[in-house]
Copies of this chain bind each other. A is one copy, B any other.
Amino acid sequence: MPNTIYLDNAATTKLKPEVLDAMMPFLTERYGNPSSVHKFGADCNTACEDARRSIANLINAKDNEIYFTSGGSESDNWAIKSVAYAKRDKGRHIITSGIEHHAVMETCEFLAREGFEVTFVGVDNQGIIKLDELKAAIRPDTILISVIYANNEIGTIQPIKEIGAIARSKGIIFHTDAVQAFGHIPIDVEKENINLLSASAHKIHGPKGVGMLYIKNSVRLLPMIHGGPHERKRRAGTLNVPGIVGFGKAAELAKASMEKNNAELIKLRNYAIDRILKEIPYSRLNGDRDRRLPGNINISFRFIEGESMLMMVDMKGIAASTGSACASGSLDPSHVLLAIGLPHEIAHGSIRMTMSEFTTKEELDHTIEALKEVVAKLRSMSPLYEDAVRNKEV
């Protein structure tokens, strides 16, 4: 697929060449199993421990608080289910937000079917969790608070430090799904009172199929995957050495360039948002303009539907994403867009464009021109637009 303008970095990212270079020895000659006694395996073990350190460094954790998993979904499931089962005799109430990723939301819904009680705390129309609602939801039998660090659809950054302080003051375990935040914005698990944190390599130009769960040393967590003595007996399975090494390298690179990249990304993001809102009528920005990930643009266009928008920009070589139901295989549009108060028909008409440090202004300019054409074409085909014109609403 040459010449694609890739604006779907929240879905997955391109492996950085330096990351692939770091992985290559472990995809070829250094193929040992880190659990083995022999040097051939031990060498791989050392490489995994180096990666663990780079990852811990990025969030001010200790090396032995990082547990490798297969990705963000596994980490979320592990964190939430293990706390639930470990604490079930103490209480069965879990608090989460209305804008979680499916990996958290469906896990909580599963637990609700298993006899736990789940409170989904709402967000305001800017997509920021309502702290007073959160506080009011806490009960004596609340065992876990799980709130997404930065939302994957609308990019809003949550008041994690405040939530951490609340959880800590009540002695409740605090998990955050930081899959979109890790390596993108600064995180400090100590200062922010985070007990458990999920991350995934493929969102930071690392490889797919590897993630981690940060488990604060004071928290005892049961394994979700039982078996061999890997990961200090907490997560069985032969270590994905190339994946882990790549994750480590990606974390290291993210740390080194985060500040500089973000200054640039925020400029580009705001430029694109301003142009779209100005040049395309009946468009709106979803999610807070400032408390949002540097690379996230999420816009709704009235009267048109997201999947067809995506397909049309795709034909112009632009890869993006939508909160429309049609695109996800479900029938309802994104629960996140509904949570910020969008009516269904506007939620269906959203498009998410997520940038990386490789995104250029030229690409954005090209994309905006494409969007203008596509939106106009789809509106000309839309019965909703026709009605609005007829009713002189537009």
Could you tell me which A residues sit within 8 Å of B by CB distance? 1-2, 4, 6, 8, 11-15, 20, 23, 27-33, 35-41, 43, 69-74, 76-77, 101-104, 106-107, 109-110, 200, 202, 207-210, 224-229, 236-243, 307, 310-311, 314, 318-322, 327-330
CA distance A143 to B74 in the complex (A): 26
Picked from B12, B13, B242, B311, the residue with its CB within 8 Å of the CB of A208 is B242
Residue contact A70 to B237, C-beta cutoff 8 Å: yes
A228–B31 CB distance below 8 A: no
Cα A110 to Cα B222 with chains together (Å):
10
User: Interface centre among A15, A20, A110, A240, by most B CB within 10 Å?
Assistant: A240
Contact in complex: A240, B307 (CB < 8 Å): no
The residue from B13, B227, B229 contacting A330, defined by CB atoms under 8 A apart = B229
CA of A110 to CA of B73, assembled, Å: 22
- Copy total for this chain: 2
Residue among A12, A202, A319, A328 with most chain B CB within 10 A: A12
Known contacts A28-B20, A310-B37; is-contact A227 B106 (Cβ 8 Å): yes
- Cα A69 to Cα B227 in complex, Å, equals 15
B20–A236 touching, CB < 8 Å = no
Given the interface pairs A74-B237, A102-B227, the reply to whether A314 lies near B39 with Cβ below 8 Å is: yes
Minimum CB distance partner of A2 in chain B: B29
CA distance A208 to B28 in the complex (A): 12
Are the C-beta atoms of A37 and B237 separated by less than 8 Å?
no
Partner of A40, one of B1, B107, B242: B1
Considering residues A32, A72, A74, A238, which has the most beta carbons from chain B within 10 angstroms of its beta carbon? A238
Contact (Cβ within 8 A) B4 A31: no
Cβ-defined contact, A38 with B310, below 8 A:
yes
List 17 interface pairs A-B (beta carbons < 8 Å), by A numbering.
A1-B40, A6-B40, A20-B27, A37-B307, A38-B311, A38-B314, A38-B319, A70-B209, A72-B238, A73-B227, A103-B226, A202-B238, A208-B238, A208-B240, A208-B241, A209-B238, A243-B243
Contacts of A20 in B (CB 8 A): 27-28
Q: Within the complex, what minimum Cβ distance (angstroms) separates A393 from chain B?
A: 29
A15/B1 in contact, CB under 8 A = no
CB distance from A286 to the nearest CB of B (A): 18
Alpha-carbon distance A314/B237, docked complex (angstroms)? 24
- Contact residue among B8, B224, B237, B307 (Cβ-Cβ distance under 8 Å from A72): B237
Closest residue of B by beta carbon distance from A39: B314
Known: A38-B318, A101-B227; 13 extra A-B contacts, CB below 8 A, are: A1-B40, A11-B32, A11-B35, A37-B310, A38-B310, A38-B320, A70-B74, A73-B226, A73-B227, A76-B227, A103-B236, A107-B226, A110-B226
A84 to B240 alpha-carbon distance, docked (Å): 28
In the complex, the answer to whether B15 meets A33 with C-beta atoms within 8 Å is: no
Chain B residues contacting A229 (CB-CB under 8 Å) are: 102, 328-330
| Across-interface contacts of A13 in B (CB, < 8 A) | 31
Q: Given the complex, which residues of B lie within 8 Å of A2, measured CB to CB? A: 29
Docked complex Cα distance between A242 and B27 (Å) = 12
Contact B320 A238 (CB under 8 A): no
Distance of A12 Cα from B202 Cα, bound (Å): 24
Q: Is the CB of B6 within 8 A of A33?
A: no
Q: How far is the CB of A148 from chain B (nearest CB, A)?
A: 13
Given contacts A41-B319, A237-B70, A238-B71, contact A8 B33 (CB under 8 A): yes
A109 — which chain B residues lie within 8 A by C-beta? 226
- For A72, the chain B residues whose CB sits under 8 A away are 237-238
Q: Would you give the shortest CB distance from A113 to chain B, in whole angstroms?
A: 10
List of B residues within 8 angstroms of A240 by Cβ: 70-71, 207-209, 243
Q: Do residues A40 and B106 form an inter-chain contact, with CB atoms below 8 A?
A: no
Chain B residues within 8 Å of A104, by CB: 227
